[in-house]
Amino acid sequence: MTDRIWDQFLTDRDKEVFAASGFGAMADWGERPALLIIDVNYAFCDEESMPILESIKKWRTSCGEVAWEAMPVLQRLIDTCRGKGIPVIYTTGIRRPDNWDSGSWTWKNKRRQEERKPVLTSDGRDGNEIVDAIAPGPRDIVVHKQKPSGFAGTPLHSYLQLLGCDSVIVTGTTTSGCVRATVLDAFSLNFRVTVVEDGCFDRAQASHAINLCDMHAKYANVMPSDAVIDHLNTLSQGMFDLPSGAGMTATAAE
């Protein structure tokens, strides 16, 4: 892994500093991971692959085409984890219909007021619904959140504790926002963290690359999905006491 996605954004001085200061070493994987899929919903992906400047006319948070480039990667990771009985945990947003609980989110975006009327998909679904291409299965777990980190004000940590997880494999969007916030909190709780480079996306290319660079330097192993899947395939079958899925429909695993 000599050429990294962030190399093009670094100055020669930056490269020298990283090399000299010892950051970016490879950490252990941990032994009992959960797959985290952060906010891969319609508001961040649109309903199909669209040029981002087109897509954000309707969905102001959309990441456009890059979301759909990551989708097959996420599908492969999800299939691998389900096959092994490794926990698959999704996050997505939740909001009161009147948006009162947007709170601090209203402070930094000029288009927030558009959400006084809900933005819905062509078939009338909420933007926070996870996209069908990677829909949660009956034994997966969905965590609803209101802030960037999957841990902030949610039961995520208690679920990881209950499952006996010692590590998380993080995917989804945006790399610079909710992915990074979740990675930071997992790190602060002493979970081993892997970030799947091609399983994450952001609306800004530079933000995506530099945030991966930062996380790889300090908090996580940033790895391509092929290497992550190879590793997952070395783990034992059925290590976790997963939800039974009884009484769940395939798309309502909540």
Partner 1 sequence: MTPDRFEDHAWKDIVPDDLLKIYEPYRRETVVGPNPALLLIDLYNLAYQGGPKPPQELQDSYPSSCGIHAHRAIDPTKRLIAAARAAGIPIIYCFGDTAPQGAPRRVGATHRKGVKRDPKDFEIYHEFTPEPGDILIPKQRASIFAGTPLVSHLNILGVNSVIVCGESTSGCVRASCVDAYSTGLHVSLVEDCTYDRHEMIHKMNLFDLHHKYADVMAVEEVVAHLSDLAASRAAAQCA
The residues that touch partner 1, with contacts defined as CB under 8 A, are 157-162, 164, 166, 188-191
- Between residues 161 and 205, which has the closer beta carbon with respect to partner 1? 161
- Between residues 168 and 223, which has the closer beta carbon with respect to partner 1? 168
| Alpha carbons 30 and 187: distance in angstroms, whole number | 12
Segment (H or E) for 81: helix 65-84
Q: Which two tokens stand for residue 242?
A: 């997963």
| Alpha carbons 200 and 69: distance in angstroms, whole number | 10
* Residue 113 CB, nearest approach to partner 1 (Å): 36
Q: How many CB atoms lie within 10 A of CB 178?
A: 24
- Between residues 11 and 190, which has the closer beta carbon with respect to partner 1? 190
| Alpha carbons 93 and 247: distance in angstroms, whole number | 24
| Alpha carbons 27 and 194: distance in angstroms, whole number | 9
Segment (H or E) for 106: none
Phi, psi of 172 (to 5 degrees): 110, -150
* Residue 168 CB, nearest approach to partner 1 (Å): 11
* Residue 66 CB, nearest approach to partner 1 (Å): 32
- Between residues 36 and 210, which has the closer beta carbon with respect to partner 1? 36
- Between residues 141 and 209, which has the closer beta carbon with respect to partner 1? 141
* Residue 158 CB, nearest approach to partner 1 (Å): 4
Beta strands in 100-191 (DSSP E): 141-145, 167-173
* Residue 153 CB, nearest approach to partner 1 (Å): 13
